[in-house]
Structure 1
Amino acid sequence: MSRHTFEEKLKIVFQVKNGKPILQISRECHIRQGMILEWVRKYDGYGRQGLHKQPNIRATPEFKEEVVRFILEKHIPLAQVVLQYGVSCSALESWVRIVRLNGYEALHQQKKCGRPTKVMGPPKKQEPKTELEKLQAENARLRAENALLKKVKALVEEREAHERMIGRKPSRS
C-alpha cells in the first residue's frame, strides 16, 4: 500500500506548480524533497495518471541489462529512466553498481531466494533395520545415559563437598 494517497500527491504537485517552494512543502508535510520532485516529474511526464501507484514489475535479466545500458551508454539521467520504465530508483542504482563492479553478466546470475538451508544439526534418525543394528543403537543409548548419570553424580558430590567445606549441611533434594 502506498504511504501517500493519490489526492495528497496531487495536492502537493499543485502547490509546487503554483509556486510554493519545495523545501517549505517538504518541511510542512514531512516528505523528502526528492520524493516531491519525483511526483512533479511524473505529473509533468504522464499527467494525473503518473501519480497513481504503479504495478510491481518482475525484472528479467534482459530487462535489467537494457535499462542499465540505457543509463551507462546513452548517459540518460537516472530520474528519467525511473519515469520511463517504472523501476524504483534504488533498484536501478543497485543494478548499475553491480554492472560497474562485475560487468553485465552479473545481472544474469540467479541469486538464491529465501533462507539458506540449515547445514548444522543432528542428522535425521533412521530406524535400525536388523536385530544387530537395534542392539547397537540401544547399547549406544545406554552408554550415553550411563555417562550422563555419572556426570550428575559427580556434580552432586562436588556440591555437597563444597557445602561441607563452608559449614552447611547438604540438601536432600
Structure 2
Amino acid sequence: MTKYSDEFQLRLVMEVESGQSITVVARAHGIPKKNLQRWVSIYEHGGIEQLLLKKQHYSQEFKISAIEYRWQHHLSYRQAAAELEIPNEGTLYQWEKRYLEMGSAGLQATKKGRPPKMPKKSEKLKRNLTREQELEAENAQLRMENAYLKKLNALVQERIARESGKKRLPSTN
C-alpha cells in the first residue's frame, strides 16, 4: 500500500503545474521534496495515467535496455525513470546495482516469499510407478501399520497387567 493516495498526489502535482514552486507545495503539505519532484516528473512525461500506474513487472530484457539507455544518453536515474515510465528511480538504481554485481543473471525474476516447509509430492512420480512398485509400496505401508498395532497392543496389555496388579487387595491370612 502506498503512503500517499492517488488523489493527494494528483492534487499536489496540479498545484505545482498551476505555478507554485515544488518547495512551497512540499512544505505546505509536509512531504519530502523529492517525492513531489518525482510525481511531477512522472506526470510531465506520462500524464495522469502514468502517475496513477502502480506495481509493474518488467522483463529481464527491459531492465537491461533501461540500464543501457541511461548510460548511452547520460541521464540521471530520475530522468531515465521518467522517460521509460518507471514509477520510481530507485527501481532503476537497484537494477543497475544488481547488473554491475551479477551481470544479466542478477536481473532475472526471482521467486519471493517464504519457501514451503515440505516440498509438494510430484504427481508424475506417482503416475510413473509400475504395478509392482505400487504393490511394494502398499506392502510396506501394511507392514508399518501391522508393527504399529502390535506395539500398541503390547502397551495396552502391559497397562492392563499393571493396573490389575495394583487393584489386588492384600490377603487377610
Percent of aligned positions with the same letter in both sequences?
26
Secondary structure in 2 aligned to 1:124?
helix
Whole-angstrom CA distance in 2 between matches of 1:33 and 1:164? 84
Structure ranking higher on relative contact order (CA contacts 8 Å, 6+ apart): 2
Unmatched segments (≥5 aa) in structure 1: none
- Decide which structure has greater helix share: 2
Structure 2 match to 1:22: 26
Question: How far is the alpha carbon of 1:80 from its aligned partner?
Answer: 0.7
CA-based RMSD of the aligned residues comes to 4.6
Structure 1 match to 2:131: 128
TM-score (norm 2): 0.58
Residue identity in the other structure for 2:30: S
Residue identity in the other structure for 2:67: V
Secondary structure in 1 aligned to 2:30?
helix
TM-score (norm 1): 0.58
Deviation readout 1:12-56 (Å, 9 max, x if unpaired): 1244442434134135xxxx554322112234x348547643487
Tell me, yes or no, if the aligned pair for 1:42 and 1:51 is still in contact at 8 Å: yes
Structure 1 match to 2:171: none
Alpha carbons of structure 1 residues 26 and 144: separation in structure 2 relative to 1, 3 Å: same
Question: How far is the alpha carbon of 1:68 from its aligned partner?
Answer: 0.7
Pairing of 1:89-128 with structure 2 (within 5 A): 89=88, 90-103=90-103, 105-106=104-105, 110-111=108-109, 119=119, 121=121, 124=126, 126=129, 128=131
Question: How far is the alpha carbon of 1:94 from its aligned partner?
Answer: 2.7
Segment drifting more, 78-87 vs 114-123: 114-123
Residue identity in the other structure for 1:124: K
Does residue 1:156 correspond to 2:159, yes or no? no
Pairing of 1:68-83 with structure 2 (within 5 A): 68-72=67-71, 74-83=73-82
Question: How far is the alpha carbon of 1:112 from its aligned partner?
Answer: 6.4
Alpha carbons of structure 1 residues 33 and 155: separation in structure 2 relative to 1, 3 Å: farther
Whole-angstrom CA distance in 1 between matches of 2:157 and 2:143? 21
Tell me, yes or no, if the aligned pair for 2:26 and 2:33 is still in contact at 8 Å: yes
Unmatched segments (≥5 aa) in structure 2: 169-173
